[in-house]
Amino acid sequence: MTPERPEGEGAFPDSDEPHLAVAGPDPVERPRPLLSDPALYAALDLGTNSCRMLIARPRGSQFHVLDSFSKTVQLGIGLEASGRLSRGSMGRTVQALRICQKKIEKHGVVRMRLVATEACRRARNARDFIRTVQRETGLTLEIIAPEEEARLAVVSCAPLVGRRTEELLVVDIGGGSTELVWLDLSEVPPHEHARSIMRLHAGFSPKVQDGPVARMVDWISVPLGVATLRDQFMDVEDDSARFALMSWFFEEKLADFSPYNAETKRENFQIIGTSGTVTTVAASFLGLKRYDRNKVDGLRMTSAQIDNVIRDYLALGPEGRRRDPRIGRDRHALIMSGAAILQALMRVWPTDRLSVADRGLREGLLYAQMCADGVLEEGPY
């Protein structure tokens, strides 16, 4: 996959995933519709906190990103208390989706999958919101189940799996939920690791399906992400106490995950973390004042390195984190709830092989569509 280049001023754009460019409507030139281009694919992920989209073209066994969009819309704000999407959050989201629609029209995209996740799964008025989006933008959103969200996140991370890995935990920390998938690769030849994971998702072309499939031991969707976990402990004033409570509270939710008490062989165990939290921690560890996806995606970190970054965040305090260019202007309010989730995971499954994935649901959606159409070449994914 050809990496995207961040745009705008400052270390990170206004995004739940810091590597994506913030897009907005051009005040002068309106996008002109092009002829339909069957070679282009779009994938949109509408989450609890952000609206994100990629437009890409197949290239070999990967894809090349032509355009991207990422905007914090806070769709789930107030959802915990009311059970409904608020008028303001829906308005912000529709505005963002109008920009996405213009980009789709400008590029002539006809193959697309536009999905909504946790906030729309939980909200009582989600169906009304989906109809409003259709009416206002012409886009048809699909609310996907947590299991499919987890599988697609795993598919996107397949290229980062090590050859020595026999047990793999993929963690996707979102705004409203966190998905964990545990895979057994012990019976899969090392050169087949990535392709065996691609085969987990239904709809792939026969040439991709032909071969061993990674065994999914268990998966869980914890209804706590960076936004919803933060909201649970807003009334705790002490910064360190709030962080500790969030971390232990999240760990309690893992009790139903069958590998919770599993012993792992550390030399054959790998965690892949995909989220703005994990990429921000990695950027902080590297001391990046301006985000560089090439340095972050695929980086491996140890438990000690992650712990040191989190200790540094705590030492900074809320004001220090707000000013820290490594964290970014939009991430500072969510970084400690995300770090609390990450700390809980490393406490339960300590490893010196946590791989940082600057990729996620959108990339999984693109791989799934392209593989189903048979437009990706054979080769290592």
Residue 20 pLDDT > 60: no
Residue 3 pLDDT > 50: no
CA–CA distance, 159 with 97 (Å, rounded to integer): 30
Residue 98 pLDDT > 70: yes
* Cβ-Cβ contacts under 8 Å for 25 (sequence gap 6 or more): 98, 99, 102
Burial class (CB in 10 A: 0-12, 13-18, 19+), 365: buried
The residue-averaged pLDDT of 89-114 equals 96
The more confident residue out of 12 and 269 is 269
CA of residue 211 relative to chain centroid, distance: 28
Residue 107 pLDDT > 90: yes
The residue-averaged pLDDT of 145-150 equals 89
* Cβ-Cβ contacts under 8 Å for 174 (sequence gap 6 or more): 47, 48, 49, 117, 118, 225, 226, 275
pLDDT tens-digit series, residues 27-82: 334 445 456 777 999 999 999 989 999 999 999 888 999 999 999 999 999 898 89
Which of 178, 337, 193, 340 lies closest to 257, judged by CA? 178
Q: Which CATH architecture has domain 150-361?
A: 2-Layer Sandwich (3.30)
CA–CA distance, 371 with 294 (Å, rounded to integer): 25
Residue 23 pLDDT > 80: no
> What is the pLDDT confidence band of residue 8, given thresholds at 50, 70 and 90?
very low
pLDDT value of residue 37: 78
Q: Rounded to the nearest 10 degrees, what angle do helices 87-107 and 126-137 cross at?
A: 40
pLDDT value of residue 201: 67
Question: In the numeric block, which tokens belong to residue 138?
Answer: 């012409």
Percentage above 90 pLDDT, the chain? 63
pLDDT value of residue 331: 81
Residue 123 pLDDT > 50: yes
> What is the pLDDT confidence band of residue 377, given thresholds at 50, 70 and 90?
confident
pLDDT value of residue 100: 98
pLDDT value of residue 25: 37
pLDDT value of residue 150: 87
Q: What is the mean pLDDT of the chain?
A: 85
Residue 349 pLDDT > 80: yes
CA–CA distance, 37 with 291 (Å, rounded to integer): 32
pLDDT tens-digit series, residues 275-329: 889 999 999 999 998 889 889 999 999 999 999 999 999 999 999 999 998 887 7
pLDDT tens-digit series, residues 215-255: 889 999 999 999 999 999 999 999 999 999 999 999 999 99
Question: In the numeric block, which tokens belong to residue 288?
Answer: 């990046």
Q: What phi, psi does 70 have (nearest 5°)?
A: -150, 130
pLDDT value of residue 199: 78
pLDDT value of residue 378: 62
| Predicted model pTM | 0.80
- Structural domain boundaries of the chain? 150-361
CA–CA distance, 333 with 336 (Å, rounded to integer): 7
